[in-house]
C-alpha cells in the first residue's frame, strides 16, 4: 500500500464509506471513525454509545460481559444463569478461559452450565420460585462455597428480585456465599456494562471477605487477565520466577478464595483497563492499594511491566532479580525475532477487538516490524482511546447512568495506604511510574492511522479493500468473511485455539503464528489454473 | 476429571438444568433463514442474542454467518422496539441490500409484547421496504420449546411470507427439510434429482454455509431457495415434511393457506427412513425408483451384513434433536445395536411414544427423557451407573467421553471441534454409509487400542 514510514491520509476514503449510509447514520458513524492527526495527540472519538440498529456490529451484551468475561473464568463458583436456556448455553465453555485447580479433587465447575431454563409460565407468573429452587438444588447436590446468579433480559422485565432471593438463600445456607448480577442483556450499549456490573458485585460480596495474608514480600493482584489460552499461566510463571507473590487474578485461573483475600496485596496491576478499572479504583479508595497499568503482551512490554513492579517496591534485591529474569528470558526471544522478523517486516495489521487487546497487540506487531494501520475497540470507551485524562470531559448518557456507580469509602479498619502521597509523587518523578492512569490506544498510534469504534461489517470490508492488510485481527464472527476476501484473520478473543501469547514464551508463540499466517502459500490455491481472468495466471500463460 | 462433580446418584431436579441438550429458539430461526437466497436474518432483541447465535453457527460451520440486530437498550425495552426495528430495516436495505430480511423475535421482544406484524406493516407504509423486497418474520420466544421450535417457526414464517395459493397446480413437490446440515440438504436434492421428480426444497443452506473459497466475500452466497421458488410452493401438488418437530408447522401452514396436502416423514437417516422417503417421492412424484438408488441402498446393506459382528449388541447413549434421534435410533436398532440412553432437551410428548415404539422389543430397558431437566448431566449420571460402548451427540459430549473413556461420534448441533458435518451427509443411503464408517472406525480403533499384543489383529 505504502512504504512503512508514512501512512496515507484515509479521510477521502472515509467519505466514500460513509456515502453508503443513510444521512443520520453517516453522521453518527463519521464521529466513530477518526484519523490520528499527529502522534501522541489522540483525536476525539465517539465511543461507548448505542450501536445503530441493523448495522451488523461485532458487539454482544451486558450478560456476555458479566457472566462470560469476568465471572466465567472463576472455577469454584456455581454460576446459575436465570433465564431461558440460550444465554447459559452460549456462554458454556466458549471463551477458552483455562484453569488449573490445585488438586485433582479441588472444585472446578468450569465445564458445567447451570440454568433455570425459564419456561413461559415462569415469564407469566414470575421466575422467583424456580430460581430459589434451582439454587437449593445446586447447593444440595454440590455444596459449593459460592453460587452466583445472572439475570438475562426477561428477568429484569418481569421484576424477579434476584438479589433478595440470593440474600435469603445465603442466610439459609450459612456456609455458601450467594449473590446476584443484574446484567440483563439490554443494559448499557455493549459487553462493557456487564464488566462494570460484575466488578461492583464482586467488590461488594467477595473482596475483603478473608483477611488472611499470604507469605511474601512483594504481593500483587493481576486485574483484567482472563487466562485465554493460558496467558495467566505464563504470567504466573514469570512472576513466580521473580519472587513476586500473586495474591489474586481477576479473573484468569482464579478462585473465589483468591478474590476474597485480594485486598491484602500491596499493588494492583491492571491489564485490561476497560473491563476492570472499576475494581482497581474501588480497591484503592477502600483499602489504599495503588494501581499501575501494565501490559504483558509483547516481550519488551513484559520486561517494562516487570521493571515497574521492581520500581514500585523500591527494593534493590527485587529489581536485581527482575533484571536477571529478563536477561535469562530475552535471548530466546531475540533469537526467534531475528529469525522471524525478515519474514514479517513491513507487513500491515488491522486490529478490531475488545477493550484493550487492539492496543496491547500493537506491541507484538511492532516487535515483528509490522505496521498497525487501523485499529479500534468493540466495546471501549473514550478513555481507552484517548487516555484517562479525558474522563472528566465524558458526558454520561442515559445508557451509562443506568449502570450503578458504587459509592466506596475508606474501610474504617483496613484502609492502609501502601504508599504516602509523597512517596507516590517521588516514584512518579524519579522512576517515571504513572499511578492510576492509562494512556489510550490512539495516543500511541502513528499519524494518519485510522481509529474506528464499533466497526461495522460494511466498514470492515471497505477498509480491507483500502488497506489490503496482511493480517486482520478480530473475532469469530468476522473471521470467515474476512478470510473469504483472501486476508488471514487472527482471532484475538480465542487466539484461534492457540496461545499463550502473554509474557516471553507467549510472545514467541505469537511471532511464530503471525509468521505462519502472513507467509503461508495456501491462499495461492484459490485461483484455478483455468481461470484466465486472474492477472497472475494470464501472465504465466502469456509468458509461456 | 473435567466433570468431577457429576454425582452417580440420580436426584430428582425440578428447577435446575445442568449441561443442556438444547438451546433457544432464535438460533434455529437464524439458521433456517440462511437457507433463503439473498436473505439477511435479523434478531429483534438485545445485541447479545445475535452475537451468540452468529458465533455458535460460525463455530459450527467455519463460514461467515451474517445477521443483524435491533440492538435494544434499556429505553427500547421500556418503550418497545418499534423504532429500532424500523431503523434496522431501513439501514439493512440501504447498506447490505438483501432481497429478504427474516426477522425473528427473542425473549426480550416477546416479553415486552412487540407486535412485529404491525411494525413491519408500518415499515412498509413508511416506505422503508423497497419495491420488490421482502420482510418476513417469525415469533420465536426463547422460553418455549427449543432451537428446533425456532427453526420450525421460521419455516412457517417463510410459508406465510411467500407461498402463493394457485388455481393452476404445478407438477412439483415441496420438500420441507427439517434441521439438517447443508451436506444433508445437498444429498436430499441429489436423491430427488436421481428420482427424476420436480421439486422445490426449502430451506436450503447448501452453497450458503459450505461456500467455496474464491477470494471474494459474497454477502449472499449462491445457495438458498429463491423467492420465485418459495412463492411457487403454494402451487405444488404435495408437500413432504421431513422431521415432525422442525417441518410440520410449515407443511400445515401450506395446507391451510394454499391447500397443499402433506405427508410427514422422518428425516431420512438410516435404511428404513430413507426407504420411506424414496417410496414417498416415488408415490407422490409418480416415478419409479431408478436402479442406481437401489444399488446405492444395496451397498449400505452389504456393509451391514459384512460388519455385523462389530455392531451387534453395542450399547449407545445419544442426545440431540428429536427429528434426528428418532430415525437414528431406528437405524441403530436395525444394526442390532442397543440405543440405551436417549436424551433431548426439546419437549414434546410424542418423542417418548415414538422411541417406545422403536425400542420396546429391541431394548426394553432403554432410558428415554426429553423436555425440562432432560440434560447431559442426567445422561452422564446414567452412564456412571452403567456404561455404554458409544456416545453420539454434539461436541459437548467430549467431556463425558474423556472422563469415562468412551468412543464418541459427533453428530448434531453444535459441532465445534471437527469438520465434516457440513460436507458429508448423514441422510440418505450415502449418509448411512458414512455413519457406518464412522462407528465401525471408532469400535475398531478401540479394539486396536485395548488389544493385548498377542491378539492385535491385522485383518478385521
Query: What is the rounded CA–CA span in Å between residue B268 and residue B432?
Result: 9
**Measured between beta carbons, which residues in chain B are less than 8 angstroms from residue A55?**
68, 91, 95
Q: How many CA atoms lie within 13 A of B125 on its CB side?
A: 6
B43 to chain A nearest CA, in Å?
A: 9
| Among B358, B335, B361, CA closest to B439 | B335
The answer to whether the Cβ–Cβ distance between B16 and A154 falls below 8 Å is: no
The answer to whether the Cβ–Cβ distance between A105 and B4 falls below 8 Å is: yes
* Nine-digit cell string for B52: 451468540
B75 to chain A nearest CA, in Å?
A: 8
Tell me the torsion sign for CA atoms B318, B322, B327, B333. Answer: positive
Chain A, 162-191: which have a CB under 8 Å from a chain B CB?
Answer: 184-190
Q: What is the dihedral of CA B423, B429, B433, B434, to 10 degrees?
A: 20
Query: What is the rounded CA–CA span in Å between residue A127 and residue A133?
Result: 10
B191 to chain A nearest CA, in Å?
A: 29
What residues does each domain of chain A span?
62-186, 219-344+385-431
Are B272 and B334 contacting, i.e. CB atoms less than 8 angstroms apart?
A: yes
* Nine-digit cell string for B429: 443411503
Query: What is the rounded CA–CA span in Å between residue B129 and residue A218?
Result: 64
Which of A85, A119, A120 minimises the CB distance to B23?
Answer: A85
Which of B2, B47, B211 minimises the CB distance to A51?
Answer: B47
**Measured between beta carbons, which residues in chain B are less than 8 angstroms from residue A189?**
73
Q: CA of B28: which chain A residue's CA is closest? A: A86
Which of B19, B68, B108 minimises the CB distance to A54?
Answer: B68
- Starting at the edge strand found earlier in the chain, the sheet holding B390-393 runs B367-370, B338-344, B315-319, B390-393, B408-410
| Among A31, A36, A33, CA closest to A458 | A33
Q: CB-based burial of residue A422 (10 Å sphere; 0-12 exposed, 13-18 middle, 19+ buried)? A: exposed
Averaged pLDDT of chain A: 95
A419 to chain B nearest CA, in Å?
A: 42
Give the CATH number of domain B25-162; options: 2.30.33.40, 3.30.230.10, 3.30.390.50, 3.40.50.1980.
3.40.50.1980
The answer to whether the Cβ–Cβ distance between B91 and A123 falls below 8 Å is: no
Query: What is the rounded CA–CA span in Å between residue B28 and residue A350?
Result: 33
B222 to chain A nearest CA, in Å?
A: 14
Q: CB-based burial of residue A380 (10 Å sphere; 0-12 exposed, 13-18 middle, 19+ buried)? A: buried
**Measured between beta carbons, which residues in chain B are less than 8 angstroms from residue A484?**
64, 211, 213-218
Tell me the torsion sign for CA atoms B19, B21, B25, B29. Answer: positive
| Among A105, A200, A107, CA closest to A145 | A107
Report how far Cα A113 is from the mean position of its chain's Cα atoms: 22
The answer to whether the Cβ–Cβ distance between B1 and A104 falls below 8 Å is: yes
| B163 at interface of A, judged by CB pairs closer than 8 A | no
Which of A86, A157, A476 minimises the CB distance to B58?
Answer: A476
| A92 at interface of B, judged by CB pairs closer than 8 A | yes
**Which residues contact residue A98 at a Cβ distance below 8 angstroms, ignoring those fewer than 6 apart?**
A227, A228, A229, A230, A232, A233, A252, A253
| Mean pLDDT along residues A302-315 | 98
Confidence at A543, pLDDT banded by 50, 70, 90: very low
| B172 at interface of A, judged by CB pairs closer than 8 A | no
| Among B410, B452, B448, CA closest to B310 | B448
Q: Determine which helix (DSSP H) or strand (DSSP E) holds A319, and give its type and residue range.
A: helix A316-344
A289 to chain B nearest CA, in Å?
A: 35
Are B156 and B163 contacting, i.e. CB atoms less than 8 angstroms apart?
A: no
**Which residues contact residue A217 at a Cβ distance below 8 angstroms, ignoring those fewer than 6 apart?**
A243, A245, A313, A315, A318
| A488 at interface of B, judged by CB pairs closer than 8 A | no
The answer to whether the Cβ–Cβ distance between B74 and A481 falls below 8 Å is: no
Residues of chain B below pLDDT 70? none
Q: At the top level of CATH, which class does the domain A219-344+385-431 belong to? A: alpha beta
The DSSP bridge partners found for residue B174 are B200, B239
Active site residue A274: no
Active site residue A195: yes
Per-residue pLDDT of B190-221, as tens digits, reads 999 999 999 999 999 999 999 999 999 999 99
The answer to whether the Cβ–Cβ distance between B5 and A461 falls below 8 Å is: no
Active-site residue, from A42, A61, A87, A265: A61
Q: CA of A193: which chain B residue's CA is closest? A: B73
- Starting at the edge strand found earlier in the chain, the sheet holding B39-44 runs B68-69, B39-44, B100-105, B134-138
The DSSP bridge partners found for residue A225 are A251
Q: Kindly give the pairing relationship between strand B100-105 and strand B39-44.
A: parallel
Are A340 and A512 contacting, i.e. CB atoms less than 8 angstroms apart?
A: yes
| Mean pLDDT along residues A231-252 | 97
| Mean pLDDT along residues A228-237 | 97
Rg (CA), chain A: 24
- pLDDT value at A3 more than 60: no
Query: What is the rounded CA–CA span in Å between residue A304 and residue A139?
Result: 45
Are B26 and B140 contacting, i.e. CB atoms less than 8 angstroms apart?
A: yes
Query: What is the rounded CA–CA span in Å between residue B308 and residue B317?
Result: 19
Are B119 and B216 contacting, i.e. CB atoms less than 8 angstroms apart?
A: no
> Which CATH number does B173-288 carry?
3.40.50.1980
| A496 at interface of B, judged by CB pairs closer than 8 A | no
| Among A47, A285, A294, A79, CA closest to A180 | A79
Residue A465, pLDDT score: 97
A194 to chain B nearest CA, in Å?
A: 11
**Which residues contact residue B352 at a Cβ distance below 8 angstroms, ignoring those fewer than 6 apart?**
B368, B370
Tell me the torsion sign for CA atoms B135, B141, B147, B149. Answer: negative
- SS3 for B357-406 is HHHCCCCCCCEEEECCCCCHHHHHHHHHHCCCCEEEECCCHHHHHHHHCC
**Measured between beta carbons, which residues in chain A are less than 8 angstroms from residue B111?**
123, 153-154, 157-158
The answer to whether the Cβ–Cβ distance between A84 and B142 falls below 8 Å is: yes
Q: CA of A486: which chain B residue's CA is closest? A: B215
Tell me how many residue pairs between chain A and chain B have CB atoms under 8 A apart: 261
Would you tell me how many other CB atoms lie within 10 Å of the CB of residue B264? 16
Query: What is the rounded CA–CA span in Å between residue A84 and residue A72?
Result: 18
Block residue for cell numbers 462389530:
B310
| B5 at interface of A, judged by CB pairs closer than 8 A | yes
The domain at A62-186 falls in which architecture?
3-Layer(aba) Sandwich (3.40)
| A353 at interface of B, judged by CB pairs closer than 8 A | no
Would you tell me how many other CB atoms lie within 10 Å of the CB of residue B82? 17
Query: What is the rounded CA–CA span in Å between residue B184 and residue B163?
Result: 24
**Measured between beta carbons, which residues in chain B are less than 8 angstroms from residue A468?**
none
- pLDDT value at A538 more than 50: no
Q: CA of B212: which chain A residue's CA is closest? A: A484
Per-residue pLDDT of A14-25, as tens digits, reads 999 999 999 999
- pLDDT value at A205 more than 60: yes
What residues does each domain of chain B span?
25-162, 173-288, 292-453
DSSP per position, B56-123: HHHHHHSS----EE----HHHHHH-SHHHHHHHHHHIIIII--SEEEEEE-HHHHHTT--HHHHHHHH
| B94 at interface of A, judged by CB pairs closer than 8 A | yes
Residue A532, pLDDT score: 67
Active-site residue, from A29, A75, A195, A388: A195
Query: What is the rounded CA–CA span in Å between residue A14 and residue A29?
Result: 10
Q: Kindly give the pairing relationship between strand B17-18 and strand A114-115.
A: antiparallel
The answer to whether the Cβ–Cβ distance between A120 and B144 falls below 8 Å is: yes
| Mean pLDDT along residues A3-17 | 89
Residue A541, pLDDT score: 43
The DSSP bridge partners found for residue B408 are B391
Are A476 and B59 contacting, i.e. CB atoms less than 8 angstroms apart?
A: yes
Block residue for cell numbers 452466583:
A148
Would you tell me how many other CB atoms lie within 10 Å of the CB of residue A167? 14
Confidence at A68, pLDDT banded by 50, 70, 90: confident
Query: What is the rounded CA–CA span in Å between residue A353 and residue A370?
Result: 18
Beta strands in B164-314 (DSSP E): 173-177, 199-202, 238-242, 262-265
Per-residue pLDDT of A413-470, as tens digits, reads 999 999 999 999 999 999 999 999 999 999 999 999 999 999 999 999 999 999 999 9
Are A307 and A322 contacting, i.e. CB atoms less than 8 angstroms apart?
A: yes
Active-site residue, from A95, A132, A163, A307: A95
Fold of B292-453: Rossmann fold (3.40.50)
Are B37 and B223 contacting, i.e. CB atoms less than 8 angstroms apart?
A: yes
Q: What angle do CA A160, A164, A167 make, to 5 degrees?
A: 140
pTM over 0.95: yes
Amino acid at each position: 500500500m505504502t512504504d512503512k514510514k508514512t501512512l496515507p491520509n484515509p479521510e477521502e476514503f472515509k467519505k466514500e464509506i460513509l456515502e453508503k449510509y443513510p444521512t443520520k447514520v453517516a453522521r453518527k458513524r463519521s464521529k466513530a471513525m477518526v484519523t490520528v492527526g499527529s502522534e501522541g495527540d489522540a483525536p476525539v472519538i465517539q465511543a461507548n454509545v448505542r450501536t445503530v440498529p441493523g448495522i451488523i456490529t461485532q458487539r454482544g451484551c451486558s450478560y456476555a460481559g458479566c457472566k462470560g468475561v469476568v465471572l466465567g473464568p472463576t472455577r469454584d463458583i456455581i454460576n446459575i444463569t436465570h433465564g431461558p436456556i440460550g444465554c447459559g448455553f452460549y456462554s458454556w465453555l466458549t471463551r477458552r478461559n483455562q484453569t488449573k485447580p490445585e488438586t485433582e479433587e479441588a472444585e472446578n465447575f468450569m465445564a458445567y452450565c447451570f440454568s433455570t431454563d425459564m419456561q413461559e409460565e415462569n415469564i407469566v407468573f414470575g421466575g422467583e420460585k424456580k430460581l430459589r429452587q434451582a439454587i437449593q438444588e445446586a447447593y444440595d447436590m454440590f455444596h459449593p462455597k459460592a453460587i452466583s446468579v445472572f439475570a438475562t433480559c426477561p428477568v429484569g422485565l418481569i421484576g424477579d428480585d434476584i438479589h433478595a432471593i440470593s440474600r435469603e438463600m445465603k442466610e439459609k445456607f450459612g456456609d455458601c456465599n450467594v449473590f446476584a448480577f443484574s446484567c440483563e442483556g439490554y443494559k448499557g450499549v455493549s459487553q462493557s456494562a456487564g464488566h462494570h456490573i460484575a466488578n461492583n458485585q464482586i467488590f461488594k460480596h467477595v473482596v475483603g471477605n478473608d483477611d488472611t495474608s499470604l507469605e511474601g514480600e512483594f504481593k500483587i493482584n493481576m486485574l483484567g487477565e482472563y487466562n485465554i489460552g493460558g496467558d495467566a499461566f505464563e504470567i504466573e510463571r514469570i512472576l513466580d520466577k521473580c519472587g513476586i507473590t500473586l495474591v489474586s487474578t481477576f479473573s484468569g485461573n482464579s478462585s473465589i478464595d483468591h478474590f476474597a483475600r485480594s485486598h491484602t496485596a500491596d499493588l494492583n496491576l491492571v491489564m485490561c483497563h476497560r473491563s476492570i478499572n472499576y475494581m482497581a479504583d474501588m480497591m484503592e479508595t477502600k483499602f489504599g492499594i495503588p494501581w499501575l497499568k501494565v501490559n504483558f503482551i509483547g516481550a519488551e512490554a513484559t520486561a517494562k511491566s516487570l521493571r515497574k513492579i521492581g520500581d514500585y517496591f523500591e527494593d534493590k534485591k527485587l529489581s536485581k532479580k527482575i533484571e536477571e529474569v529478563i536477561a535469562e528470558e530475552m535471548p530466546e526471544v531475540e533469537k526467534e525475532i531475528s529469525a522471524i522478523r525478515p519474514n514479517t517486516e513491513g507487513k500491515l495489521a488491522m486490529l478490531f477487538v475488545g477493550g484493550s487487546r487492539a492496543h496491547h497487540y500493537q506491541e507484538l506487531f511492532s516487535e515483528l516490524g509490522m505496521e498497525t494501520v487501523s485499529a479500534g475497540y468493540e466495546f471501549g470507551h473514550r478513555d481507552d482511546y484517548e487516555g484517562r485524562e479525558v474522563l472528566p470531559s465524558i458526558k454520561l448518557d442515559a445508557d451509562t447512568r443506568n449502570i450503578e456507580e458504587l459509592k466506596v469509602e475508606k474501610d474504617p479498619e483496613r484502609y492502609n495506604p501502601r504508599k504516602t502521597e509523597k512517596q507516590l509523587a517521588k516514584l512518579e518523578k524519579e522512576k517515571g511510574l504513572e499511578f492510576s492512569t492509562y494512556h489510550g490506544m490512539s495516543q500511541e498510534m502513528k499519524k494518519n492511522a485510522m481509529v474506528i469504534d464499533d466497526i461495522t461489517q460494511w466498514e470492515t470490508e471497505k477498509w480491507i479493500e483500502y488497506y489490503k492488510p496482511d493480517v486482520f485481527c478480530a473475532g469469530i464472527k468476522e473471521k470467515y468473511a474476512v478470510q473469504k476476501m483472501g486476508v488471514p484473520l487472527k482471532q484475538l478473543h480465542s487466539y484461534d485455539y492457540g496461545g499463550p501469547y502473554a509474557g516471553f514464551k507467549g510472545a514467541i508463540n505469537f511471532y511464530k503464528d503471525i509468521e505462519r499466517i502472513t507467509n503461508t502459500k495456501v491462499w495461492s490455491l484459490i485461483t484455478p489454473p483455468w481461470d484466465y481472468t486472474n492477472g497472475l495466471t494470464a501472465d504465466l500463460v502469456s509468458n509461456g | 476429571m473435567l466433570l468431577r462433580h457429576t454425582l452417580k446418584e440420580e436426584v430428582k431436579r425440578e428447577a435446575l438444568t445442568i449441561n443442556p441438550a438444547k438451546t433457544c429458539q432464535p438460533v434455529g430461526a437464524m439458521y433456517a433463514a440462511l437457507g433463503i437466497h439473498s436473505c439477511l436474518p435479523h434478531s429483534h432483541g438485545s445485541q447479545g442474542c445475535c452475537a451468540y447465535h452468529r458465533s455458535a453457527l460460525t463455530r459450527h460451520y467455519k463460514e461467515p454467518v451474517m445477521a443483524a440486530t435491533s440492538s435494544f437498550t434499556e429505553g427500547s425495552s421500556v418503550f418497545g422496539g418499534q423504532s429500532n426495528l424500523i431503523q434496522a430495516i431501513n439501514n439493512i436495505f440501504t447498506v447490505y441490500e438483501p432481497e429478504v430480511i427474516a426477522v425473528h423475535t427473542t425473549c426480550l421482544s416477546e416479553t415486552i409484547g412487540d407486535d412485529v406484524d404491525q411494525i413491519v406493516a408500518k415499515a412498509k407504509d413508511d416506505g422503508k421496504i423497497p419495491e420488490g423486497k421482502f420482510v418476513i418474520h417469525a415469533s420465536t420466544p426463547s422460553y418455549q420449546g427449543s432451537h428446533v421450535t425456532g427453526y420450525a417457526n421460521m419455516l412457517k414464517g417463510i410459508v406465510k411470507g411467500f407461498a402463493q395459493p394457485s388455481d393452476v397446480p404445478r407438477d412439483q413437490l415441496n420438500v420441507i427439510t427439517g434441521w439438517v446440515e447443508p451436506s444433508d440438504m445437498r444429498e436430499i436434492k441429489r436423491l430427488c434429482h436421481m428420482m427424476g421428480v420436480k421439486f422445490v426444497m426449502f430451506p436450503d443452506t447448501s452453497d450458503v454455509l459450505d461456500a467455496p473459497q474464491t477470494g471474494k466475500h459474497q454477502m449472499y452466497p449462491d445457495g438458498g431457495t429463491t423467492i420465485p421458488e418459495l412463492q411457487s410452493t403454494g402451487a405444488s401438488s404435495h408437500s413432504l415434511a421431513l422431521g415432525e418437530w422442525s417441518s410440520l408447522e410449515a407443511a400445515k401452514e401450506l395446507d391451510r393457506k394454499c391447500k397443499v396436502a402433506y405427508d410427514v416423514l422422518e428425516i431420512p437417516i438410516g435404511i428404513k427412513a430413507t426407504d420411506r422417503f424414496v417410496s414417498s417421492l416415488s408415490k407422490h412424484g409418480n416415478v419409479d425408483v431408478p436402479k442406481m438408488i437401489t444399488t446405492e441402498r444395496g451397498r449400505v446393506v452389504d456393509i451391514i451384513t459384512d460388519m455385523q459382528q462389530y455392531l451387534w449388541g453395542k450399547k449407545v447413549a445419544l442426545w440431540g434433536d428429536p427429528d434426528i434421534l428418532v430415525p437414528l435410533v431406528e437405524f441403530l436398532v436395525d444394526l442390532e445395536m442397543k440405543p440405551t440412553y436417549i436424551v433431548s432437551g426439546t419437549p414434546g410428548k410424542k418423542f417418548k411414544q415414538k422411541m417406545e415404539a422403536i425400542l420396546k422389543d429391541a431394548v426394553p430397558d432403554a432410558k428415554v427423557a426429553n423436555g425440562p431437566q432432560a440434560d447431559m448431566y442426567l445422561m452422564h449420571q446414567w452412564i456412571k451407573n452403567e456404561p455404554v460402548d458409544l456416545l453420539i451427540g454434539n461436541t459437548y459430549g467430549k467431556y463425558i467421553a474423556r472422563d469415562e473413556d468412551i468412543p464418541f461420534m459427533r453428530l448434531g448441533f453444535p459441532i465445534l471441534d471437527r469438520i465434516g458435518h457440513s460436507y458429508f451427509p448423514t441422510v440418505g443411503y450415502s449418509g448411512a454409509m458414512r455413519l457406518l464408517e464412522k462407528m465401525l472406525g471408532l469400535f475398531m480403533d478401540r479394539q486396536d487400542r485395548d488389544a493385548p499384543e498377542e491378539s492385535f489383529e491385522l485383518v478385521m
